[in-house]
Amino acid sequence: GAVVSQHPSWVICKSGTSVKIECRSLDFQATTMFWYRQFPKQSLMLMATSNEGSKATYEQGVEKDKFLINHASLTLSTLTVTSAHPEDSSFYICSARRPGSRGNTEAFFGQGTRLTVV
């Protein structure tokens, strides 16, 4: 299956600092990637859709100025959590679909990034 790689797998940062998370599609080009957030023992919540070459689209309630998304190439999307606070501590996961997969919308997920803000 397709491989989506996410880095780092975990990060601890101080309040007020910014953290960048990378999501790469390793064996296919992804014009669209998705960023989800998962709190412990909870479901995945879609944060935003990352679009190559254009602005990301954010779900309702997600602060676009806090969660900066850049999709600079067909294989890389980045999520930057700016001015992080302890309540931003969570598991962030990206996903992508293989292009041309008509009828099959299987999502390939990265390994996830566990962010802890202290």
Partner 1 sequence: GQQVMQIPQYQHVQEGEDFTTYCNSSTTLSNIQWYKQRPGGHPVFLIQLVKSGEVKKQKRLTFQFGEAKKNSSLHITATQTTDVGTYFCAGPLGNQGGKLIFGQGTELSVKP
51 binds partner 1 (CB under 8 A): no
Candidates 7, 13, 28, 45; binder of partner 1 (CB under 8 A) is 45
Q: How far is C-alpha 89 from the geometric centre of its chain's CA atoms?
A: 14
54 binds partner 1 (CB under 8 A): no
d(CA 106, CA 7): 22
Look-up of token digits 């990352």: 50
Candidates 32, 80, 82, 89; binder of partner 1 (CB under 8 A) is 32
What is the nearest approach in angstroms of partner 1 to the Cβ of residue 49?
Answer: 6
φ/ψ of 86, rounded to 5, equals -55, -35
CA angle (2, 75, 93) in 5-degree steps: 65
- Kindly list the residues in this chain that would bind partner 1 in the complex (CB under 8 A): 1, 32, 34, 41-46, 49, 93, 95, 97, 103-112
